[in-house]
Structure 1
C-alpha cells in the first residue's frame, strides 16, 4: 500500500460515524403487523448503528409480560437486545447506557407511545420516564429520566 492509499484509508475511517467503527448491537424487535411507528423506531435504531431484525406479531402483550414488563407499563413494541428487554420508544442513548452498565434487571420500558419519542411524531413536551423491570414481580423503578 503506498503512502497516498494509506492516507486515504485513514481519512475514510475517520469520516465514519463512531457506531460504524464499533461492533454493531444486534436487536430483535417484535411489533404489531399494522404499526408504522415501530418501523420508524427500527429505522431510528438502524441510523444509530444498531442491527434490527423486525418480526411482526399479534402476541405483543404476552411477549412483553413473559419478559417481565407489567401490562400497565408496556410500550408499543418489544425488543430484545443482549439479554435485556427494551419495551417502547426508548432513546438509543438509554439503550447504550443499559448495555454498558449491565444492571441485574430484566430490562427497561417507556410505557405508551409518548409524542416526540424516537419513531413518534410530534414534539417532546417533557422528560421521558424510563422504568427498570424485573421478572420476579417487583414493582418497576425509575431507571432514568431523559
Structure 2
C-alpha cells in the first residue's frame, strides 16, 4: 500500500511549466517602501522564474539582525528563501546556484548598491562587484565575481 501511495504522489506531482516558480516557497523580500531599485530587483527575480512576496518596512537593520546578516554587508533590501538570507542585489543565477548546492551558510550578500547589478542597471555602465557567501560565523568568501564595464562617465 505504501508503494502505491508513493507512485500516486509522484504521478500527481505537476512538472514545472514555463512561468512557474523555481522554488517551493516564494522569496520573501523586505524593502523600504521608498526604494525603487528594490522593486527592479524583484522584477529581475520574477523574470528569472521565482515567485516573490514583498513586505515593506522602513527598519531594515532589524530585519538583517533578525536573520543573522552582518550589518557590514548591508544592501538596500533583505530577502529570505528556504532558510537562506539574500542581502542586496544578488543575481538570480547565483540564487539558483545557492539552491542547487545548498551550502551550510547564512546566505548571499552583495554589499552596497553596485551599478550594473540586477535592479541597479544604468545604461551600459557596470561597476565590478562580488557576491559573497556568508557562513554561520558571519565570515564571507567570494561566491561569484562580476567585472565592471569599460564605459566611463554617465549612462550609455
Q: TM-score, normalised by structure 1?
A: 0.79
**Aligned residue number for residue 131 of structure 2:** 130
Which 4+ residue blocks in structure 1 deviate beyond 4 angstroms? none
The answer to which structure has the higher helix fraction is: 1
Q: After TM superposition, give the deviation of residue 22 of structure 1 in Å.
A: 6.1
**Aligned residue number for residue 30 of structure 1:** 30
RMSD between aligned residues = 1.8
Please state whether the residue corresponding to 1:120 is helix, strand or coil.
coil
Q: How many residues align?
A: 127
Contact 2:19 2:49 in 1 (8 A): no
Distance 2:127 2:113 in 1: 13
- Unaligned runs of 5+ residues in structure 2 are 1-15, 147-156
- Unaligned runs of 5+ residues in structure 1 are 1-17
Q: TM-score, normalised by structure 2?
A: 0.74
Q: After TM superposition, give the deviation of residue 103 of structure 1 in Å.
A: 0.2
**Aligned residue number for residue 99 of structure 1:** 99
Distance 1:46 1:133 in 2: 24
**Aligned residue number for residue 71 of structure 2:** 71
Q: After TM superposition, give the deviation of residue 141 of structure 1 in Å.
A: 2.0
C-alpha distance 49-21 of structure 1, shift in aligned 2 (>3 A):
closer
